[in-house]
Structure 1
Amino acid sequence: MTHFKPFLFALFILLNTNILFAQTKKQLSNFYQNFDSIKFELLHLYTDGLQATASYSSNSSYPFKGKKINPPPLLKKVLKVDHTNDCFAIFRYSIAPQIEGLILRVYDQEMQSNTIHNLIYNTSTQTIRESILLAHDYQAEGGSGATQSWILDLDNNHQLDILTRSYYDKYEYKNASEEVHLIHRENSYLNIVKQSHFQRTPVQNEDLQQLIANDFPYRPIYAPFMSEDTHKKLLNNIKKSGLVIPSETD
């Protein structure tokens, strides 16, 4: 009898684990059905600036509005989203046999901004293998920046890879000068499909970085971001008022 109780307890744990696993698979299967399947050779994904509400108006031409959904609990852990975020299923596409990309827009109510993710989904096991950030834009602490991605076949193996570019701009005074300087940071990286998995590779060659910038230009962000002239005049006004302007090294 002494050995029987641990056996029953272990059996109870196993049964509950299997039930939870089955429920998770069912939730992810239902979640997967929200995404419309599309085919393409090249797709440029971007966000379009600050947005007062999660849903776009019917007159908006923005192509990545998506369909509002209730994400499964597991997804909230993968993307670290909470009740202040709204999720929208955009579409899904084939990456490799039994592997698809689920393109999801997440709206942050507090920041009034959007982020687009690529959820790598295994249709056989009904599991999300990983999440890849595709697009985002922001304005904070005197600077602004964006991430945009292009989905295309980069290595001619008939599987769609991902090219991502990110930038950050900030204006500040240098060496106690009255002149305002632009701090610009730029980076690019590739997510290449290898044996049904993505391998991330940063672009470190400056010549290649420039070629990518020429061939894959950013789409302008139509948010109420300050123009360069407005930003400079605002900084001058702040400096004259005696306020401390944080530097890039702070």
Structure 2
Amino acid sequence: MTEDSTAQDRQLLRDYAGETRDPHVTALMGELLRHLDQVDFARTTGRTGGNTRGLGQGRYAVSYAHGAQMTRADHLAVLVHELTHVAVDQAYDSEMLNFPAPALSTAERQRVREETPGREEDFQNARLRNTGRQQRDAFVGLVVANGQRLVRELPSSGLSAERQRMVREKLTSHLQPRPFHEYDGVLSHLLTWCDLDGADRSSAFYRSLSAMVDQAAAWRAAGQIRTPRRRRGLFSRLGATLRKLTRGFRR
């Protein structure tokens, strides 16, 4: 069962942007609300999760599981997460990949469409194949390092044990397998949880997370990302992780 929730969810996001007192959330919401009228929302039955689809001509459809037990914090975190995917696509024009990726030619798009009709992720994978290995590796290296740092600093956050479990799951089960697709969205999701759950703003976890959110937003504003210089030996240590993560889009 699917229910159109566009009016309610747009208002919920506008209300949240007006009520938050967190400067990092305020800045993020200021960016995201610029895209709000381009998005239609729908609630579905199910347990968790959301999905954002590009409809062409700057329009998007967000659907997400919404149950009676869903808290306001979880609801808003999902909406902010999915709206971040829209901001990413608008910034990079990259099939919602979290960095600029070379556009596909008309012939390449037609080939992907014929090989696997109806699979949006295959357009992403085709663009990843057209991206230089050094750029891919540098981005994955950054995501892996930042994710590990957040997991390591999570006990300092002041969040409840249950919320810490959910944050850890987002970082390890959601972000790690899909770094090219989920980095910006997961950071926005976690920041929303921190804001609404009253995380310790002085903690190492919050300071690191908010800095990462701000950095990702700055990259989107510039339309390009700047990853750290490649350090000797870093990616050899991450070799097994990279091979696993890139296997999905290699032919």
TM-score w.r.t. the length of structure 2 is: 0.26
Structure number with greater Rg is 1
Higher strand share: 1
Structure of greater relative contact order (alpha carbons < 8 Å, 6+ residues apart):
2
TM-score w.r.t. the length of structure 1 is: 0.26
Higher helix share: 2
